[in-house]
Structures are given as structure tokens and as C-alpha cells.
């Protein structure tokens, strides 16, 4: 059973306080007034006054720096970049300006430029844990986990009890699959801030990746308690519980996750799969349908929905859904197999000849596609052969049974079917050899003895046939075909 996982989305950036530029002594009245507004908490008035200062003196470094800072506080990244970039030209040795410029670039997703600006801040003030930390975050976002690790460790040395540094160091380590060290740092972050949901989530995720499912389960259970509406806690618990066979508990957690975030795919899909596993196919249909509303073209979901529709008694709906799936992705082995299996089952069950013919034709096409995708699939060859045999295409059936035996010489169903075909073709000695091999390889297979008896009887070996029918009945006293065959032989044996 494959449980679909989630991509854990966590904030890896904790800006450690946007630094406030020192006002130059020559700052004008508007700038001073703006700073007073900022200190009183009136961000809009502060911005307006500092904007006036910039308009009066475009090269006022402190005004530019302050305006960039104020715009950054309002998440106006592009505007902040323009002013902070000019401030960095006017104040090239001001680490605070470079740090805030890096944060502004990060806000507009210009991560490479953010890293360059943070690096300037670190160059000017290498002992600032905040600057080093911000540079490490930028490197992590750029995918350079090894460099991020070095920088986070440098920040950790400067500020050893900072939970954000420890957490993000854990992320850098985990990305490099250094799970033991990652777990240690995540745990240290949790110890410092035990009720931080992001830290607990990351700790649990690392434990799970390390294979310590028991400890991971405890972490996710804690997360669910401290953050009752935490979607990730319930999805993660669902995964662990499902993998450990606690299906009912897993279902409860996926249901909770689906109610919290109905727009997410994973909980709906996993619910459908687990409900189907329990045989609750009508409920599974609803969950798979919800998953398809999120991802309308997901073929695995279509395949699951099709099978649960079939198991719910909705044969034609199932066939329609699975045909949509294989049209969407003809290379989906799962969808092709389920469609082919339904056709085979329904062909066997159908009494109406027109319906039977339709299912048989569909099954032949579907099993042929399965074999193209998986030539070594013994069961696919046998099922295709069975349909050819049912359609009266004896030679084609023989080819497929033989193909199955080539893949798996011990395939009982393939040898049983090939024996039937050989009897139909009048190749009685070859059929006898097949059944002789079969009863030796599978001595508990009643049908093999019965069919062996039929081949012997058709070859005139009546007494030998009688012995095989008796062996079949010894294994299965209620085997009606063997009973009928033995009863038919008794008068003939008496006459002899």
C-alpha cells in the first residue's frame, strides 16, 4: 500500500529584527517627524513624512534608509528595494542597510540578490548572529544546503540558544540527509520553545525520515495537542498510523485533515485508499471523488475510484471511469489492470451473449495493453488466454498460455489452460504431459487431476482416467465435474 505523502511547508526564514538605521545628524525636520510617528506606532504617517524628506533631498542617506525600512515593514518589497539600494550606495559601510536590502530582495523572491546583500552585511559585521542567520536562510533557499549548514553553525556559535537558528540548521542538515544531527538540532529547538508548532513538526518529520516512527508519532501527537487545527499534524499521523496498520486511527486523522484543508489532495486520496482496503467502497468512492476535484487528471485516483465503483456494484460507471483513466495515461499499469480485471470478471458472470461479447472484447484489448506494459506478467497472459479460449480462438489462447509458462514454468493456471487447449486441438499426448507435470508440481490441485483424467479418457486410457477422477474427489469431495466424470466411467469399466 502506497500512502501519498505531503510536502511539509514550513517557514524557514525568521528575520531577526529589521534593524533601524541611525539618523544622520543633518536629517531635516520631516525625517525627525517621521521617526517620531514610527515610534508612536503610526506607520502610515511615518512613511508620509519620511517620503517628504526624500523628495526634499534625494541623496539624504538616512532618509532613504528609513524610507526603505518603513516600506519593508509594510511588505512593499519592490519599493523598499529601490530606496535601500540607493541607501547602500550612499552608505556602503552600513551593515544595517545591507541587511534590510537583503530582506527586501527576499520579499520579492530575488534570492540571489538577497544573499549578496546579506553577505555584504556579514562582511561589515561578521559577529552579528542575525546577519549570518539571514545569509544562511538565503543560501538554503537557493538550494545550497552545505553552505547554509556552515553559516547556521557559525550563527549558532554566536548565539547558541536561539531556537530559530537551531531549527533552520536542522533543515539544512536534513536536506543533506544528515538525519541524526538534524534530529539533535530540531530537538534542541523544541526544548527551547516546546509549543512552537513549526519546530515540533520539523522534529517529527526528521524522526520519521530517520525511521523512528514511535518517537515521530509522539511528536505529531504533541503537535496535534498544541495546535488542534494543524493540518500537517493530522496528515503526518495518518501516514504513520497507516504504515503501522492502525487503519481506523489513520482514517480518523485523514478525515480531520480533509475537514481542515478540503482543497488538499493527500488526505482525500489516502482516505479513499484506506477505506477501500477495509472494503468500505461506497465511502471510498466519495473520498476518491473529492481527491479528483482537487486533481482532476490524477490517474491513480481515477483507478482507485473506478475499482471502488465496481466493488460498490456500479459496473458501468466503473468501466467508464477506468476508460477515462487509460485514455488520460495509456501507460498506467494500475488502471489498465483494473479495467482488464473487471472485463474478465464480467465476461465470466454475464449470461447475455451480446453483453458477454462486449466484456470479452474489452478484456482482450485491456489485457493486451497490460502485457505491452508488463510483458513478464504471468497472470495477464493467463487472463488474456482465458478470454481467447472463451471466444473460441484456440490458437491465440495456446500462444498466451505458452507465453505465461515461458515466464513462469510453475504457473498452475497456465498449464491447466494449455492442457485444455491441447485437448481441444486433439493433441492428447501433449495435454497428458502438461497435466502430468501439473499434478507433480501441484499435488493438492483437484482440477489438475480432473483435467488429467479427461485427457487420459479421451486417449482411451479409461482405468487411468478413473484413478485421476478419484484423486480429484479425494481432494475435493464436492467437485461436481469430477463426480460426473467418475460416474460416467463406472458403467464402462464394469462392461470391460
Measured on CA atoms in the order 76, 78, 81, 82, is the torsion positive or negative?
A: negative
Whether the Cβ atoms of residue 43 and residue 36 lie closer than 8 Å to each other: no
Cβ neighbours of 183 (radius 10 Å): 23
Give the CA dihedral 111, 116, 121, 125, nearest 10 degrees: 120
What is the predicted pLDDT for the residue at 489? 83
The region that residue 413 occupies, defined by phi over 0 for left and psi between -120 and 50 for alpha, beta otherwise, is alpha
The C-alpha angle 6, 265, 144, rounded to 5 degrees, equals 35
What cell does 159 get? Answer: 548565539
Pair 389, 415: CB distance under 8 Å: no
Separation between Cα atoms, residue 104 and residue 80, nearest integer Å: 6
pLDDT of residue 19: 46
Determine contact, residues 239/5, Cβ cutoff 8 Å: yes
- In the chain, what is the greatest distance between 2 CA atoms, to the nearest angstrom? 130
pLDDT of residue 118: 97
pTM, two decimals, is 0.78
pLDDT at 492: 53
**What digits encode the pLDDT tens for the residues 322-377?**
999 999 999 999 999 999 999 999 999 999 999 999 999 999 999 999 999 999 99
Position of cell 473460441? 392
Q: Which of 453, 408, 409, 460 is nearest to 435 (CA)?
A: 453
d(CA 480, CA 488): 12
**In whole numbers, what is the pLDDT of the chain averaged over residues?**
91
Taking the C-alpha atoms of 350, 356, 359 and 364 in order, what is their torsion angle to the nearest 10 degrees? 120
Domains of the chain: 426-496 (1.25.40.10)
Q: What is the pLDDT of residue 27?
A: 52
The whole-number mean pLDDT for each consecutive block of 10 residues of the chain, a chain of 496 residues, reads 33 37 57 92 94 90 93 95 96 96 96 97 97 97 97 97 97 97 98 96 96 95 93 95 95 97 97 97 98 97 98 97 96 97 95 94 97 97 96 95 94 92 91 90 91 90 91 92 88 51
Three cell numbers, residue 82: 529601490
Amino acid at each position: 500500500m502506497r500512502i501519498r505523502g505531503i510536502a511539509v511547508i514550513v517557514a524557514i526564514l525568521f528575520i531577526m529584527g529589521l534593524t533601524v538605521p541611525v539618523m544622520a545628524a543633518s536629517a531635516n525636520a520631516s525625517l525627525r517627524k517621521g521617526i517620531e510617528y514610527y515610534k508612536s506606532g503610526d506607520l502610515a504617517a511615518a512613511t508620509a513624512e519620511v517620503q517628504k524628506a526624500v523628495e526634499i533631498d534625494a541623496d539624504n542617506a538616512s532618509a532613504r534608509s528609513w524610507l526603505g525600512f518603513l516600506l519593508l515593514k509594510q511588505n512593499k518589497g519592490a519599493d523598499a528595494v529601490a530606496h535601500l539600494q540607493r541607501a547602500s550606495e550612499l552608505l556602503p559601510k552600513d551593515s544595517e542597510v545591507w541587511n534590510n536590502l537583503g530582506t527586501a530582495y527576499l520579499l520579492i523572491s530575488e534570492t540571489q540578490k538577497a544573499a549578496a546583500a546579506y553577505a555584504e552585511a556579514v562582511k561589515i559585521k561578521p559577529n552579528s548572529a542575525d546577519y549570518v542567520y539571514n545569509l544562511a536562510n538565503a543560501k538554503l533557499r537557493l538550494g545550497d544546503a552545505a553552505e547554509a549548514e556552515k553559516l547556521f553553525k557559525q550563527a549558532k556559535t554566536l548565539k547558541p540558544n536561539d531556537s530559530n537558528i537551531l531549527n533552520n540548521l536542522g533543515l539544512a542538515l536534513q536536506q543533506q540527509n544528515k538525519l541524526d544531527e538534524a534530529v539533535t538540532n530540531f530537538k534542541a529547538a523544541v526544548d527551547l520553545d516546546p509549543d512552537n508548532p513549526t519546530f515540533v513538526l520539523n522534529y517529527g518529520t526528521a524522526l520519521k525520515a530517520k525511521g523512528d516512527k514511535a518517537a515521530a508519532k509522539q511528536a505529531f501527537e504533541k503537535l496535534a495537542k498544541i495546535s488542534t487545527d494543524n493540518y500537517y499534524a493530522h496528515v503526518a499521523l495518518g501516514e504513520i498510523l497507516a504504515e503501522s496498520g492502525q487503519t481506523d486511527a489513520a482514517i480518523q486523522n485523514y478525515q480531520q485533515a480533509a475537514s481542515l484543508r478540503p482543497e488538499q489532495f493527500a488526505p482525500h486520496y489516502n482516505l479513499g485508499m484506506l477505506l477501500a482496503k477495509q472494503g468500505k467502497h461506497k465511502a471510498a468512492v466519495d473520498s476518491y471523488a473529492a481527491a479528483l476535484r482537487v486533481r482532476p487528471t490524477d490517474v491513480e485516483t481515477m483507478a482507485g475510484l473506478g475499482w471502488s465503483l465496481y466493488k460498490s456494484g456500479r459496473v458501468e460507471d466503473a468501466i467508464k471511469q477506468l476508460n477515462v483513466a487509460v485514455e488520460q495515461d495509456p501507460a498506467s499499469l494500475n488502471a489498465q489492470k483494473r479495467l482488464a480485471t473487471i472485463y474478465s470478471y464480467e465476461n465470466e458472470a454475464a449470461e447475455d451473449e451480446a453483453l458477454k461479447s462486449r466484456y470479452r472484447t474489452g478484456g482482450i484489448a485491456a489485457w493486451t495493453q497490460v502485457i505491452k506494459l508488463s510483458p513478464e506478467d504471468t497472470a495477464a497472459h493467463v487472463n488474456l488466454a482465458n478470454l481467447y479460449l472463451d471466444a473460441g480462438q484456440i490458437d491465440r489462447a495456446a500462444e498466451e498460455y505458452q507465453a505465461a509458462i515461458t515466464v513462469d514454468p510453475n504457473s498452475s493456471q497456465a498449464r491447466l489452460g494449455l492442457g485444455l487447449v491441447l485437448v481441444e486441438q486433439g493433441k492428447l499426448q501433449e495435454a497428458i504431459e502438461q497435466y502430468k507435470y501439473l499434478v507433480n508440481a501441484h499435488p493438492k490441485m483437484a482440477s489438475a487431476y480432473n483435467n488429467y483424467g479427461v485427457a487420459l479418457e479421451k486417449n482411451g486410457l479409461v482405468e487411468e482416467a478413473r484413478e485421476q477422477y478419484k484423486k480429484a474427489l479425494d481432494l475435493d469431495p464436492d467437485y461436481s465435474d469430477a463426480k460426473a466424470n467418475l460416474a460416467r466411467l463406472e458403467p464402462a469399466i464394469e462392461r470391460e
